[in-house]
């Protein structure tokens, strides 16, 4: 069912500061930076091997990432698993009684189809399912 880890996402309070840190300390470069209005965040994607590190910062105080930072501070926010078919994956999880954040897939960064699985019932890990758009220009 899982094709691999697509990205690991870190919640940060200042995207520019975090990007600079990851360039200077880890030698990682930003391949894509975009606002995902749907999630109230701005994200920067830094390729790392076959996967990527994603830095996410809130663009509005109402965003779930803003609330996350208030409650827990900066740190690991979610791990994204790549799947071939996000709808089929949601169907399977629903059948298993796993709590979902998204009942239907939505558009994530880069035009990918994504859906979040609730950390409750998944040993505390927020998982994002990612079905890549396959569009290199997205």
Site for Co ion, rule CB under 5 A: 9, 80, 128
What's the rounded Cα separation, in Å, for the pair 26 and 7?
16
What's the rounded Cα separation, in Å, for the pair 80 and 101?
14
User: Quick one: 93 or 129, whose CB is closer to Co ion?
Assistant: 129
| Chain mean position to CA 69 | 15
User: Quick one: 93 or 126, whose CB is closer to Co ion?
Assistant: 126
What's the rounded Cα separation, in Å, for the pair 105 and 130?
9
What's the rounded Cα separation, in Å, for the pair 40 and 7?
19
* List 6, 7, 39, 82, catalytic entry: 7
Question: What minimum distance in Å lies between the beta carbon of 110 and Co ion?
Answer: 10
The yes-or-no answer on residue 22 being catalytic is no
The yes-or-no answer on residue 131 being catalytic is no
Tokens in use for 13?
Answer: 């309070």
The yes-or-no answer on residue 128 being catalytic is yes
Question: What minimum distance in Å lies between the beta carbon of 43 and Co ion?
Answer: 7
Question: What minimum distance in Å lies between the beta carbon of 13 and Co ion?
Answer: 17
Return the active site residues.
Answer: 7, 43, 54, 78, 128
């Amino acid at each position: 069912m899982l094709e691999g880890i697509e990205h690991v996402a870190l919640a940060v309070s200042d995207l520019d500061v975090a990007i600079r840190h990851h360039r200077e300390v880890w030698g990682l470069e930003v391949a894509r930076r975009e606002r995902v209005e749907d999630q109230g965040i701005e994200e920067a994607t830094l390729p790392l091997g076959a996967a990527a590190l994603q830095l996410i910062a809130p663009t509005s105080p109402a965003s779930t990432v803003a609330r996350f930072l208030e409650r827990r501070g900066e740190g690991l926010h979610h791990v994204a698993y790549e799947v071939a078919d996000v709808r089929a994956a949601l169907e399977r999880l629903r059948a298993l009684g796993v709590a979902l954040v998204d009942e239907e897939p939505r558009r994530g960064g880069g035009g990918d189809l994504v859906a979040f699985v609730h950390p409750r019932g998944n040993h505390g890990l927020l998982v994002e399912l990612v079905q890549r758009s396959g569009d290199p220009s997205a």
